[in-house]
Amino acid sequence: MIPMPSLRYPLLCILTCVVAGCASQSAKTIGSLDNESPEYTSAACQNARHNAWIHEETQNAKLWAGPSAVLLLGPVAIVPVFLTNVGVNTADHLQANDIAANCGGKVKPQQEVNSTIALDATLSLAVGSVVPVSTASK
């Protein structure tokens, strides 16, 4: 079914946000670092950057695993999927802040990290759980 013209633009905006949000926060932080700084070559920075791959993998898995679980299990899976997404996002944001701290990047204050995690969780619930539930109920 083709969305009504009035819903086309908000749907496009939501899909754009979803696609733009595919990279993990850790990967975005690594991309914003100054690789010429002395902290970038330190052992702590190299270790933090080396361990960031897991957040990229979980971010990619989250994009298909959550909606698949909701499709297979129905609406009962919404809460566990949402809580899993919150946990994955929290670990990613904390790792990104750790990378920034060890590599000479800009460390975000805890309040900003918390608000970003809350925003990600809200978007995850709105986009990731609503679409599969409406599909699963048909």
Burial 62-87 (b: 16+ CB within 10 A, else e): beeebbebbeeeeeebbeebbebbbe
CA gap 26, 62 in Å, rounded: 15
% of the chain beyond a pLDDT of 90: 6
Structure-token match 């690594």, residue found = 30
Is 2 a member of any domain?
no
Domain ranges, residue 124: 25-136
Could you tell me which residue, 63 or 18, shows the higher pLDDT? 63
- If you ran DSSP here, which 8-state letter would residue 110 be given? H
Is 42 a member of any domain?
yes
**DSSP states along 23-64:** S-HHHHHHHHS-TTSGGGGSHHHHHHHHTTHHHHHHHHHHHH
Is 17 a member of any domain?
no
**Is the pLDDT assigned to residue 56 strictly greater than 50?**
yes
Is 62 a member of any domain?
yes
Is 3 a member of any domain?
no
**Is the pLDDT assigned to residue 89 strictly greater than 60?**
yes
% of the chain beyond a pLDDT of 70: 73
Is 4 a member of any domain?
no
pLDDT at 132: 37
- What is the total count of domains within the chain? 1
Is 6 a member of any domain?
no
Give the burial class of 48: count Cβ atoms within 10 A of its Cβ; 0-12 exposed, 13-18 middle, 19 or more buried: buried
Is 7 a member of any domain?
no
